[in-house]
Chains A and B, each alone.
Chain A
Amino acid sequence: MDMPLSDTQWKDNSVNNELPSFDAEPTTSPLAIEARGLVKTFEGTTAVDGVDISVREGAIYGILGPNGAGKTTTLRMLLGIIDPDAGVRRIFGHDRPHEIAKLIGYLPEERGLYPAMKSTEAIAFMGALRGLSLEEGRKRGLELLERHDLLHAADRQIRQLSKGMAQTVQLLGTLVHRPKLVVLDEPFSGLDAINQGKLERMIRELADNGTTVIFSTHVIHHAERLCEGVAIIAGGKVPYAGSVEAARDRIPAQVRLETRARDGKWRDALPDDARREGDFFQFSLPETGIEPLLRALIDGEAGILSLSIERAGLHDAFVHIAGEAAARALEADNAAEANR
């Protein structure tokens, strides 16, 4: 059994690969996934450049980034589908993921099933690939289909199912052998809002039962709702890997102020980054806190109508960490997904 590379749960990388600072409280929880310095080059183009990821057992972890950022290549390296050119990866402490294939379930982004197979057989076959007997796979397949209101599709061929149903069947095939680690590549892609909600619930259930779930997505709100940790990936690099909370804390909270007075001496008290947006002023919460500012506004007779302090969301954190270009790419992916 290989020793863990580090017993620290979360790591916060800087863009320039400086020594990491730890945002979250270090923990000695065993790690399901550890990757250090993963590099993958395809014919001269570096697809993944020094990716570090640590995921503790039982966590839900997201890999965020626009298409082409290196998410799929990273997941494929973690799973042993391809080998890294440099760096190490360990799944439950193992260098070679295939050796613990029975403990892993994987849903690739490009969904694929044999069209002529019946749903139950497809689930059982995927279980058989992970060491489950066909008989047990069929039995569990029927149970899973029933639990997800798809029992009527049990004897139907995959080609006869709708896209959403086929995707669900494949997901059930990913889970049929009861893996300890579930890796989902863009699992929400192609699902309607109802099925996305179902999938979110399923992921939470898995984590509640102690299963580690890692998924890639370019839709930030899924990660924000589900994950305790995320890795932001852009251009093959990971500028941030850590808890969602710590990512949000990377940028100061935003203050939104509405005043009766349009102008006055009180405006001198506003921070330099204050900007007017309609009737409101918006600026970062000063490092000194809100009280000195409030006092100056009251003394300056600004006539405060409303004042709110909003904590930065993961999207803002993403923009802050990955940069405007990556954020725009992410939004373009989301728009394209919505159009599909």
Chain B
Amino acid sequence: MNPQTHATSRLSLMQAAYVIARRDFLAILFSRAFFFFLLGPLFPVLVGGLAGSIGGEVQRSATTSEIGVAMSVEDRIALIAARERLAPQIGGGLPTLTVIEGEDADDPKRTLEERRGNYAGIVSGTLEEPILVGTEGQLNRWRGTIALLTATALNQSPSEFPPVTTQTVATSGANDRSDRLKTAQAGQLLLFLLTMLLAGMVLSNLVEEKANKIIEVLAAAIPMDAVFFGKLFAMLGVSFVGIAVWGTVGGSIMIAGGRSLSELADPAVGWPMFFALGVAYFAMAYLLLGSLFLTIGAMATTVREVQTLSMPVTMIQLMVFFLAAFAMTQQGSAVELGAAIFPLSSPFAMLARAALDGALWPHALALVWQGFAVAILVKGGATLFKRRVMKSGPQGAQKGTKRSFWRRRTA
């Protein structure tokens, strides 16, 4: 046979991976399930919104700022007028004043003990000698405010307030690091949430091939590394489609709600580079965790086994995140260096670093290192898969479907 023929007689690793990635990507994109995949994150947002709304209502109700006023008509009019005068200056810091009359006003202590109304406290007596009744906590909270209100009602506090001119600065030395830490935290959290949401899908990615016996066709035609790479890239592509859709929807909601990124401090590398690094680190985090999950999932023989494996896998993700989150607060320490070097936590640690430190070369180095780690993990996973799974004939395979991932014997 002509050696030159041989030189072109196979697909390169990346060509073969592309064949797999294209098939998987299109198969997922044009499936009905993908629509629900896109809708998926809306459910937690909806649930979160509802829970937040209900929780807020409960909170508001629980931390009531309603003070009952059991005073003479003149005093209560003066007190309410004083509140109106102070409101522009103090705003939310003032309680709502509710006039109490009749039996409830006669014995404020009893009114509160019998839980009539929803008062934080009741003020009685006169403006000169007000009496505030309430629990110890409420008394500590409102004592000063009631004194201010009664003093104002008696015209003993200034009725005119000098205007205060304000000037805004983007940051200050004292707040800079603290604000950037918040940006780093936000970036890291978003990266973690996206990775956790999306990388877990890879777990069950080879189950279809194994269940439909296609894996042997693939394994005979192209290297198993290419199958692994193809599947990872396809799922990464699907994830990017999802992120693009969610990002567009989320961004639109943010803009409509009058929110913007200016609420966060500018990252040290600037927003455009921070975004670019965010995309790169998401890809790396996805590929790193995905290659690990793909290998673990590929060892499983049934969907049930995959489901069982998802719990330890989630724990691994959480541990990696906690390590990176802790490392963020220890800038320059061995912990941060360790988190940046350990491949699984490296993308999270480095994204936080991008928010805190403007140097770019560590990111170039980290991305090369993470890419290398992806290649090693994929190679290892493919080798393990080839050794453990592609090893027996149909008899063995049939037995294999019933056998546990943990115990395998030859057929």
A residues sitting closer than 8 Å to B (CB atoms) are: 1, 30, 41-45, 47, 67-68, 71-73, 76, 79-83, 92-94, 98-104, 106, 108-117, 125-126, 128-131, 170, 186
A117 to B3 alpha-carbon distance, docked (Å):
36
Which among B1, B220, B411 is the interface contact of A1 at CB below 8 angstroms? B1
Most buried by B among A111, A117, A130, A186: A130
Q: Which B residues touch A81, using CB under 8 A?
A: 216, 219-220, 386, 390
B212–A115 CB distance below 8 A: yes
Report B76 CB to chain A, min CB distance, Å.
Answer: 76
For the complex of A and B, 3 pairs with smallest distance between CB atoms = A42-B410, A112-B213, A72-B393
A170 to B214 alpha-carbon distance, docked (Å):
10
A30–B408 CB distance below 8 A: no
A113 to B139 alpha-carbon distance, docked (Å):
75
Does B243 interact with chain A (Cβ within 8 Å)?
no
Q: Which B residues touch A30, using CB under 8 A?
A: 1
Report A293 CB to chain B, min CB distance, Å.
Answer: 47
Which among B9, B19, B223, B411 is the interface contact of A100 at CB below 8 angstroms? B9
Report A212 CB to chain B, min CB distance, Å.
Answer: 12
Q: Which residue of A lies closest to B223 (CB)?
A: A98
Q: Which residue of A lies closest to B383 (CB)?
A: A83
A45–B222 CB distance below 8 A: no
Does B221 interact with chain A (Cβ within 8 Å)?
yes
Report B42-73 CB contacts with A as 1/0, cut-off 8 Å: 00000000000000000000000000000000
Known: A42-B391, A76-B390, A129-B16. A108 touches B213 (CB 8 A): yes
Q: Which B residues touch A103, using CB under 8 A?
A: 5, 9
Known: A93-B1, A101-B10, A129-B221. A68 touches B393 (CB 8 A): yes
Q: Which B residues touch A82, using CB under 8 A?
A: 386-387, 390-391
Which among B218, B387, B390 is the interface contact of A129 at CB below 8 angstroms? B218
A43–B410 CB distance below 8 A: yes
Report B156 CB to chain A, min CB distance, Å.
Answer: 82
Q: Which residue of B lies closest to A104 (CB)?
A: B220
Q: Which A residues touch B410, using CB under 8 A?
A: 41-45, 47
A68–B395 CB distance below 8 A: yes
A186 to B395 alpha-carbon distance, docked (Å):
13
A72 to B220 alpha-carbon distance, docked (Å):
12
Q: Which A residues touch B212, using CB under 8 A?
A: 112-115
A129 to B409 alpha-carbon distance, docked (Å):
30
Q: Which residue of A lies closest to B26 (CB)?
A: A121
Report A72 CB to chain B, min CB distance, Å.
Answer: 3
Q: Which residue of B lies closest to A91 (CB)?
A: B1
Which among B15, B220, B391, B394 is the interface contact of A110 at CB below 8 angstroms? B394
Q: Which B residues touch A80, using CB under 8 A?
A: 220
A100–B10 CB distance below 8 A: yes
Report B390 CB to chain A, min CB distance, Å.
Answer: 5
B10–A67 CB distance below 8 A: no
Count B interface residues, CB 8 Å: 41
Q: Which residue of A lies closest to B222 (CB)?
A: A129
Report B411 CB to chain A, min CB distance, Å.
Answer: 7
Does B170 interact with chain A (Cβ within 8 Å)?
no
A98–B222 CB distance below 8 A: yes
Does B215 interact with chain A (Cβ within 8 Å)?
yes
Does B27 interact with chain A (Cβ within 8 Å)?
yes
Which among A41, A73, A130 is the interface contact of B221 at CB below 8 angstroms? A130
Q: Which B residues touch A71, using CB under 8 A?
A: 393
Q: Which A residues touch B219, using CB under 8 A?
A: 81
Most buried by A among B8, B216, B386, B397: B216
Q: Which B residues touch A94, using CB under 8 A?
A: 6
Q: Which B residues touch A115, using CB under 8 A?
A: 212
Q: Which B residues touch A67, using CB under 8 A?
A: 393-395
Q: Which residue of A lies closest to B8 (CB)?
A: A102
A99–B10 CB distance below 8 A: yes
Q: Which A residues touch B397, using CB under 8 A?
A: 110
A121 to B139 alpha-carbon distance, docked (Å):
77
A43 to B408 alpha-carbon distance, docked (Å):
9
B9–A101 CB distance below 8 A: yes
B409–A43 CB distance below 8 A: yes
Does B11 interact with chain A (Cβ within 8 Å)?
yes
Report B374 CB to chain A, min CB distance, Å.
Answer: 21
Q: Which residue of A lies closest to B215 (CB)?
A: A112
Report A87 CB to chain B, min CB distance, Å.
Answer: 16
A48 to B288 alpha-carbon distance, docked (Å):
36
Does B217 interact with chain A (Cβ within 8 Å)?
yes
Which among B1, B11, B209, B214 is the interface contact of A92 at CB below 8 angstroms? B1
Q: Which B171-217 residues sit within 8 Å CB-CB of chain A?
A: 208-209, 212-217
Does B259 interact with chain A (Cβ within 8 Å)?
no
A126–B395 CB distance below 8 A: no
A131–B10 CB distance below 8 A: yes
Does B98 interact with chain A (Cβ within 8 Å)?
no
Which among A45, A73, A99, A111 is the interface contact of B213 at CB below 8 angstroms? A111
Q: Which A residues touch B10, using CB under 8 A?
A: 98-102, 131
Most buried by A among B214, B386, B397, B410: B214
Q: Which B residues touch A109, using CB under 8 A?
A: 393-394
A170 to B390 alpha-carbon distance, docked (Å):
20
List 6 additional A-B contacts (Cβ < 8 Å) besides A45-B409, A112-B213: A1-B3, A30-B1, A72-B392, A102-B9, A109-B393, A129-B222
A140 to B213 alpha-carbon distance, docked (Å):
24
Q: Which residue of B lies closest to A67 (CB)?
A: B395
Listed by A's residue number, 6 A-B pairs whose Cβ atoms lie within 8 Å are: A1-B6, A76-B220, A76-B390, A102-B11, A106-B220, A186-B394
A82 to B220 alpha-carbon distance, docked (Å):
9
Q: Which B1-45 residues sit within 8 Å CB-CB of chain A?
A: 1, 3, 5-6, 8-11, 15-16, 19, 23, 27, 31
Known: A112-B217, A129-B222. A42 touches B409 (CB 8 A): yes
